[in-house]
């Protein structure tokens, strides 16, 4: 009889996963930002960081381009742009 096999969990913070991103990526305009940090809270990869409205950024090495940050921004200060 065997129990469940448990492997050590992985973490996207240790593996650069930005190459999996879809064809778009978020661009933080930093014009209307009020520093609500909703984008930080909603990011499934925890790749958005910052402590104040002028310091919020996305680490594109880990961003998958899901667009949740764009959808939740109350000021529409984040847009999706095509990958170059």
- Residue 1 maps to a domain: no
Q: What is the pLDDT of residue 9?
A: 46
Q: Among candidates 70, 74, 31, which has minimal Cα distance to 54?
A: 31
Burial label, 37 (beta-carbon count in 10 A; 0-12, 13-18, 19+): middle
Instruction: Say how many residues make up the chain.
Output: 84
Q: What is the pLDDT of residue 5?
A: 56
Q: What is the pTM of this model?
A: 0.77
- Residue 5 maps to a domain: no
- Residue 50 maps to a domain: yes
Domain that holds residue 53: 18-82
Q: What is the pLDDT of residue 1?
A: 52
Q: For residue range 32-53, list pLDDT tens digits in order.
A: 999 999 999 999 989 999 999 8
Which residue ranges in the chain fall short of pLDDT 70?
1-15, 17-21
Q: How many domains does the chain have?
A: 1
Q: Where are the beta strands (DSSP E) in 1-84?
A: 24-28, 48-49, 57-58, 78-82
CATH of the domain at 25: 3.30.70.20
- Residue 77 maps to a domain: yes
- Residue 52 maps to a domain: yes
Q: Is 4 helix (H, G, I), strand (E, B) or coil?
A: coil
């Amino acid at each position: 009889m065997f129990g469940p096999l448990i492997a050590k969990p992985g973490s996207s913070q240790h593996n650069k996963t930005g190459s999996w991103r879809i064809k778009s990526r978020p661009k933080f305009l930093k014009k209307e930002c009020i520093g609500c940090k909703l984008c930080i809270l909603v990011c499934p990869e925890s790749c958005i960081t910052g402590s104040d409205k002028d310091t919020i950024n996305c680490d594109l090495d880990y961003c998958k381009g899901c667009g949740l940050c764009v959808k939740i921004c109350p000021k529409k200060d984040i847009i999706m742009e095509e990958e170059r």
